[in-house]
Amino acid sequence: MSNLTFLRVSLPTPLRQAFDYRVPASIDNPVCIGLRVRVPFGPRKLIGVITEIDIQPDYDTAKIKPIIEIIDREPLLRSADLALLHWASNYYQHPLGEVIANALPSLLRKGAAAEPSRIMLWRAHTHASTAMLARAPRQAALLTHLQTRREGFTQEQLRDQPGDWRGALRQLEQRGLIESVAIATTPAADNVALTEPLRLSPDQQAAVDTIRQQPKGFSRHLLHGITGSGKTEVYLQVIQPLVEQHGQCLVLVPEISLTPQIVSRFRQRLSVPVCVLHSGLSDRERLNNWLLATSGKAKVIIGTRSAVFTPLPDLALIVVDEEHDLSLKQQDGFRYNARDIAVYRAQQNDIPIVLGSATPSLESLLNVEQGRYKLSHLPKRAGAAIPPSVQLLDVRSLPMRSGISEPLLHKITQIIARGEQVLLFLNRRGYAPVLMCHDCGWIANCGRCDARMTLHQSRRILACHHCGREVRIPKQCPECTTGKLHELGQGTERIEQTLVERFPATGIARIDRDTVRRQTDFTQLLERIHSGEIQLLVGTQMLAKGHDFPNVTLVALLDSDQGLFGSDFRAAERMAQLITQVSGRAGRGDKPGQVIIQTHHPEHPILQTLLTDGYSGFSHALLMERSAAALPPYTCQAMLRAESTDAAQPLAFLEQARNHAMQIQTGDVQLWGPVPAPMERRAGRYRAQLLLQAPQRAPLHQLLRSWVAQLETLPLSRKVRWSIDVDPMEML
Ligand code: ADP
Ligand code: ZN
Ligand code: ZN
């Protein structure tokens, strides 16, 4: 009997502690850190990961329950992986058990074996003969077929057999003439023709050289390249020699399902296994790919934010593409920023990390300014493409057709006649954002949120985009019962309708979350766009990201005003990023592109600075403003949020939390609030927030460490739902 009798297990519970268990004598597998175990937890059974072994409990060991089973033979997480998760748990003040669970594919969380899926093969025994099957012709025929291939057939391969072949298969098995064997699936070979690396431009070459610099080890790079400047080519040429020396490269992208192009570019260039990890995969595919990555077989791992936690034994480089993108930040449950975790991980592994963007975040730009990140700049487009010309279109008092001005419609007509494509951008899906009664002024509100319902004409519903509530469109005004209901404003659905009426002979497509619900929808749409069948595209920010449509020569932003007056201090930054990214879709081929921005505020400083100085000049001015206002990235923030069906409790809880913080803190950390959230009621719950801000990270985190652990003990903590958000990206 070994002395490893007591061990500590992290379990996926909101409780901020690990739990001790005993290994019963009936289990004699070796025990080590990183294995999954099944344990009793109250009336339930939970799956957790061993984080400590050989512990010496200083309390009555008779009370310590035995584990039920050890699930793995090999540890799923090595000590470096656990160290990363520990760090993330501490930094984001989130319970370790949930952080660990978040890092594992869901099948592993549920207890599945950490093995690739197996397929069943049916094959004939060597001794089998049809001699005894004279009276069973169906079985005889099937057996003869099975005998044609020694290694056997999958059910899928037998599908075309005549009649009830499944029944015949069972009978043959009962007679002992055939057997089924399970074999592990082999990773789908990347059977694509490889393409040659492109000849790099001098700027690209300089970027590649800087990143590949000597001495080796931890280094942080910001690759600021305008849209179409060839950032992906830089990643590829940095990655190629690393994977040829058996290193692994992790490439984080914001939304892979929207940009399948990037994956095929990697597969076409690199002769090593490339695997993807994102939410569009089935649980089984995700586990298979995760195993390929963690075993070291996959050399390039392209994934969305949670892929940052994938254990990679030979990690040699991390790339974070579109590092400014909000989807790298998880906004619920375990709130983390995959970009920031990636930077920590690169340091931990002593390897380079490259953050790439056409519109870098102010955080990263400040890191360059302060010398922490090395900047590589790609100011020109790759190949023959030149940047588009950008023009503000003052729509004040212009005739408008549901959101599109006459001059713009005229322009669209010209482009279509030339056989080129147009992309219209509006960040609002649905038909109209407001439904109002013309007689009494009634407005369709959600009832569960402080928000209006959006009209969706084709589905004949009113939908709340905040809580998902859907109701039928009322036939008459529910308030005065006589008034006529009017749709105010426009969403993408209405724009599409206007376009169909105005350009009946032209191929038109709408791209937003209503039309693109599945990956296949999107792939089909992309094909129709690339074939030229579709000439007019209207869409939300789904269209802003990463796409390369060489024949799009006009991009129009239909309503840029909604972003100019946001309440969040990051509104201007986001607005500039969006305008720059959407504009970047124009003129990516050999024809010059043009961008038109419709606005009622052509003199607005955000638009003016962006147009005259570009994103670089704009972000520089914005950094000076942030510095003067002592806002991030010059200061650090954390947000405590609380919500409840009771209107008063969230604020009362935050008040208690605030008083508690005042008692333990030594100064330096400012507390702002509590205040109701900008949208106070959402899905029937009242929400409030308390903001913490400090000039340095250390005092903020010092306060968080003792404070957050004690929030659980506050009298109201069980009456509200609360959460902590370190480095919040949205002030919601
Ligand atoms: P980004 O990722 O910066 O938006 P991409 O890497 O997608 O840019 O490159 C834009 C286009 O330019 C792609 O079609 C790519 O094949 C092409 N390209 C990139 N680098 C070069 C180069 N050095 N020479 C010629 N074409 C290039
Ligand atoms: Zn009315
Ligand atoms: Zn709602």
| pLDDT one-digit tens code per residue, 183-204 | 665 544 455 678 888 999 999 9
- pLDDT beyond 80 at 270: yes
Please name the residue that has the structure tokens 């749409």.
525
Which atom of ligand 1 lies nearest, measured to the CA of 233? 6
Q: What is the average pLDDT across 562-587?
A: 85
| Per-residue model confidence as pLDDT tens digits over 238-258 | 999 999 999 999 999 987 665
Q: Which of 384-388, 474-478, 501-505 has the lowest mean pLDDT?
A: 384-388
The pLDDT assigned to 493 comes to 95
The pLDDT assigned to 191 comes to 57
At residue 2 the predicted structure's pLDDT band, cuts being 50, 70 and 90, is very low
The total of other beta-carbon atoms located within 10 Å of residue 461's CB is 16
Ligand nearest to the CA of 486: 2
- pLDDT beyond 70 at 543: yes
Ligand 2 center from residue 487 Cα (angstroms): 13
Which atom of ligand 1 lies nearest, measured to the CA of 231? 3
Ligand 2 center from residue 482 Cα (angstroms): 6
The pLDDT assigned to 388 comes to 83
For residue 203 and ligand 1, the question of a CB distance below 6 A is answered with: no
Ligand 2 center from residue 442 Cα (angstroms): 5
For residue 286 and ligand 1, the question of a CB distance below 6 A is answered with: no
- pLDDT beyond 80 at 579: yes
The residue nearest atom 21 of ligand 1, judged by CA position, is 382
Ligand 3 center from residue 677 Cα (angstroms): 15
Tell me how far apart the alpha carbons of residues 341 and 84 are, in angstroms, rounded to a whole number. 8
Terminal alpha carbon distance of the chain = 55
Closest CA to 237 of 274, 276, 200: 200
Amino acid (1-letter code) at residue 115: E
The pLDDT assigned to 695 comes to 94
Which atom of ligand 1 lies nearest, measured to the CA of 584? 4
Q: Which of 128-137, 397-406, 432-441, 584-593 has the lowest mean pLDDT?
A: 584-593
The pLDDT assigned to 339 comes to 98
Per DSSP, 438 falls in state T
Q: What is the average pLDDT across 529-554?
A: 85
Ligand 2 center from residue 445 Cα (angstroms): 13
Protein residues placing their CB within 5 Å of the ion ligand 2: 437, 439-440, 442, 477, 479-480, 483
For residue 196 and ligand 1, the question of a CB distance below 6 A is answered with: no
The pLDDT assigned to 185 comes to 59
For residue 693 and ligand 1, the question of a CB distance below 6 A is answered with: no
Ligand 3 center from residue 430 Cα (angstroms): 15
Per DSSP, 408 falls in state H
The residue nearest atom 19 of ligand 1, judged by CA position, is 230
Helix (H) or strand (E) holding 45: strand 44-53
Q: Report the residue among 201, 224, 232, 615 best suited for mutation to probe ligand 1: largest number of ligand atoms under 8 A from its CB.
A: 232
**What 3-state class would DSSP assign to 604?**
coil
Tell me how far apart the alpha carbons of residues 585 and 553 are, in angstroms, rounded to a whole number. 8
Which atom of ligand 1 lies nearest, measured to the CA of 378? 3
For residue 584 and ligand 1, the question of a CB distance below 6 A is answered with: no
The pLDDT assigned to 395 comes to 93
Q: Report the residue among 233, 261, 265, 588 best suited for mutation to probe ligand 1: largest number of ligand atoms under 8 A from its CB.
A: 233
For residue 469 and ligand 1, the question of a CB distance below 6 A is answered with: no
Ligand 1 center from residue 667 Cα (angstroms): 51
Percent of the chain with pLDDT over 90: 64
The pLDDT assigned to 159 comes to 81
Ligand 1 center from residue 98 Cα (angstroms): 40
Ligand nearest to the CA of 230: 1
The residue nearest atom 6 of ligand 1, judged by CA position, is 230
- pLDDT beyond 90 at 131: no
For residue 64 and ligand 1, the question of a CB distance below 6 A is answered with: no
For residue 294 and ligand 1, the question of a CB distance below 6 A is answered with: no
Helix (H) or strand (E) holding 655: helix 649-664
673 touches 654 (CB < 8 A): yes
The pLDDT assigned to 189 comes to 47
Does this model's pTM top 0.95? no
Between 629 and 127, the more confident residue is 629
534 touches 419 (CB < 8 A): no
Omega of the bond prior to 674 within 30 degrees of 0, cis? yes
Ligand nearest to the CA of 377: 1
- Strands in 508-511's sheet, in edge-to-edge order, are 389-394, 594-599, 552-557, 421-425, 536-539, 508-511
Q: Which of 94-108, 202-216, 375-389, 592-606 has the lowest mean pLDDT?
A: 375-389
For residue 382 and ligand 1, the question of a CB distance below 6 A is answered with: yes
At residue 1 the predicted structure's pLDDT band, cuts being 50, 70 and 90, is very low
Q: What is the average pLDDT across 339-360?
A: 97
For residue 198 and ligand 1, the question of a CB distance below 6 A is answered with: yes
Ligand 2 center from residue 532 Cα (angstroms): 46
Q: What is the average pLDDT across 684-692?
A: 96
Q: What is the average pLDDT across 638-658?
A: 96
The residue nearest atom 10 of ligand 1, judged by CA position, is 228
In order of 444, 482, 486, the CA distances from 475 in angstroms are: 12, 10, 11
- pLDDT beyond 90 at 323: yes
Between 152 and 444, the more confident residue is 444
For residue 201 and ligand 1, the question of a CB distance below 6 A is answered with: yes
Ligand nearest to the CA of 449: 3
For residue 726 and ligand 1, the question of a CB distance below 6 A is answered with: no
The mean pLDDT of the chain is: 90
Rg (CA), the chain: 29
Please name the residue that has the structure tokens 């208690």.
656
The residue nearest atom 26 of ligand 1, judged by CA position, is 383
- pLDDT beyond 70 at 641: yes
**What 3-state class would DSSP assign to 212?**
coil
Percent of the chain with pLDDT over 70: 96
Ligand 2 center from residue 175 Cα (angstroms): 77
Which atom of ligand 1 lies nearest, measured to the CA of 265? 16
532-558 in b/e form (b: 16+ CB < 10 A) is: eebbbbbbbbbbbbbbbbebbbbbbbb
